[in-house]
Structure 1
Amino acid sequence: MSTATRLLPILLLACTGPALAQYDPDYDDGSYYAESAPENVSYGYAQVLRADEVVETVRTRVPEERCSDTEYRQSGRTTGGTVIGAIVGAALGNTVGDGDGRRAATVAGAVAGGAIGNNIARQRAEAESRGCQLVEVEREERQVVGYDVEYMYKGDKYMSRLPYDPGNRLRIRVSVTPDDVETAAR
């Protein structure tokens, strides 16, 4: 074996030393490399011509007490509400978990459902004793869900739906790209 053949591994090892010494594991987190900035993007302001409210009708059902002038004797019966609440609560609790966890959830659901059912039945019984009934009433409410905004930028009109009223000026993002696919690929 010649001297050159013996020295080759040593020379290769000596050449890789400076390269290994320059390696810094902190650069592996990805933050070392800066993201490229988007090309052909700028920001400007457009004049708002009009902003029309977009309104949606929302329906809700709320319990309301309706009373007459006649008073009745309170029956105090809340057993039906308690039983129904316990059955519904147990059924819901039985859908959770498995094994001992399911049994515990079933019991907890039955207890919580029974308490809720008892409370509702008691409120209804108290209302009936005063000559009142709980009635579900449907209410409609109109809510603003956005704004249709017409604005002008460099002589051209545009339209957008925004979640807010922009006022007199609207900050816009302007991006310019070639229209032709072949030109864009070059």
Structure 2
Amino acid sequence: MQLYKQLIAGALVAGLVGFSAWASAGDSGYYPDYGESYDLARVTSVTPVYTDVQVRTPRTECWDQQVAYQQPTSPAGAVIGGLIGAAIGNKAGGHGRHYRRHHRGASTVAGAAVGALVGSQISRANAPVQYVTEQRCQVVDDFTTRRELIGYDVRYRYNGRDYLTRTDQHPGDKIRVRVDVSPAF
């Protein structure tokens, strides 16, 4: 029976100590959490913090433009120029004493090539030009600036001292703070 009374008295004392600790915390909201202690502090001001973000928006810009096209030419100018150049080259290669036949053949070929080139250029220069309206397009970037909320600068007061922190969410009237108690030596 004596042991029974001691157990009841011990339980009663433990209950009173627990109730006393709970009651002494009162309205402050002080509570232990996983080996760390937390409390609630009064928020004195909340200021939203923004950043400017540049946004790129590509768009297609088009316009009409006049374009000149030359009609295709017939090979007749090159052929006629080649024949005339060959004849001139043949005559030019015929003068001289040594290697007449060899010079005459080379001159004829060179004259034909130059004549064909000149005849083709003359034919192309005289070809009719046709103008056509074509649509041209290019991608251009438009830039705009947009403000984005990145958080809140929160000023709060705890135990007579003022503090500042940044949070992702608006904290409301109270903010949870970690309390660190260490022995004074």
Q: In which range does the TM-score fall when normalised by the shorter chain?
A: 0.3 to 0.5
Give the number of the structure whose alpha-carbon radius of gyration is greater.
2
Indicate the structure with greater strand content: 2
TM-score (norm. length: structure 1): 0.39
State the TM-score, normalizing by the size of structure 2.
Answer: 0.39
